[in-house]
Amino acid sequence: MTNYEIMYIIRPNIEEEAQKAIIERFSTILTDNGATIDKVNEMGSRRLAYEINDYRDGYYVVVTFNGGEDAVNEFDRQAKFSEDIIRHTVIRLDEQ
């Protein structure tokens, strides 16, 4: 198992309950594929460095977890299809 960090940006024009549902949905995608989530850090609404899909702001979420390649690939696949996530990135953390 490898340690990963995923940062994703949720579009800013949805309600708070919908944001919570998205965060829960994508956390479930990771756990259903064998990952164990260490921390979910909701960084909140922030200004984007550049406009993405006509949005100037976004709701940032950082998830730190321990899992395999299957969990990362499924998260990536689902995030690409989701209209609610405007950007995401996966980082493999080095062993310390």
Query: Domain map of the chain by residue range?
Result: 14-36+70-86
Q: List the Cα angle 66/69/71 in 5-degree steps.
A: 65
- Neighbouring residues of 18: CB distance < 8 A, sequence distance ≥ 6: 84
| Residue tagged 């953390």 (tokens) | 93
Report pTM: 0.89
Q: pLDDT tens-digit profile of 46-87?
A: 999 999 889 999 999 999 999 889 999 999 999 999 899 999
Q: pLDDT tens-digit profile of 30-40?
A: 999 988 999 99
3-state DSSP call for residue 55?
A: strand
